[in-house]
Chain A
Amino acid sequence: DGGITQSPKYLFRKEGQNVTLSCEQNLNHDAMYWYRQDPGQGLRLIYYSQIVNDFQKGDIAEGYSVSREKKESFPLTVTSAQKNPTAFYLCASSIAQDRVYEQYFGPGTRLTVT
């Protein structure tokens, strides 16, 4: 898992509640990403950040929010506006936001909303 930690590993929430997923990296990477993985589907990009205090929406940003106050941390909040939040969430980082750089993934957080 290469220096990226995500917590918790499993998270359960009631519908209508906001929940924040943690992602921390000690790789000194500038770029960080959040993906969502659903059974039978490829990873889909939620948000990404190239540098502290800056982030951009990915392909499926609706119902999610992020912050990047520190280089090491990129928390993801799943809001009550996300219609189908139950999924496996993966955080990743790379040296820079350039397509040639390898991404390193965290161990993931499985969120279940009932």
Chain B
Amino acid sequence: KNQVEQSPQSLIILEGKNCTLQCNYTVSPFSNLRWYKQDTGRGPVSLTIMTFSENTKSNGRYTATLDADTKQSSLHITASQLSDSASYICVVSAQGGGGADGLTFGKGTHLIIQP
């Protein structure tokens, strides 16, 4: 069964600090991996999409890494800001399987930035 596990479940850090969120997956065959940011009560917004051949992708202060061999991804946030407080969702796309749309969603990491 295709699965996406995210850790930690929740994280609290001080403003200005860096943090790293983890995503492990068992989705196969792999197509791509996405990180979304979801503010409370809002829809998810895409941060990055990574295919098999991409190891690192950046979007401002967000940097995602992908190790397709170990089936792990991380999202690193640099110099955190209060506006980074949100849930971060890892989504893995399969070439076949997963949900009916081929996507398997993680449960998300809830990040809180404290001033």
Contacts and interface: CB of A to CB of B under 8 A. Distances in A.
Interface residues of A, number: 30
A2 B32 CA distance: 22
Instruction: Tell which of B45, B94, B101, B106 has the most Cβ of chain A within 10 Å.
Output: B101
Contacts, number: 67
A103 B43 CA distance: 11
A100 B93 contact: yes
Contacts of A56: 100
Contacts of B99: 44-45, 58-59
A63 B31 CA distance: 31
Contacts of B95: 99
Contacts of A75: none
Interface residues of B, number: 27
A107 B107 contact: no
B6 to A, nearest CB: 9
A110 interface: yes
Given A42-B105, A42-B106, A99 B31 contact: yes
Given A42-B4, A42-B107, A42-B108, A110 B102 contact: no
Contacts of B42: 1, 107-108
A105 B108 CA distance: 16
A99 B34 contact: no
Nearest to A92: B43
A97 B105 contact: no
A21 B93 CA distance: 27
Interface string B36-52: 10000111111001000
A46 to B, nearest CB: 10
A62 interface: no
Interface of B: 4, 31-32, 34, 36, 41-46, 49, 89, 93-95, 98-108
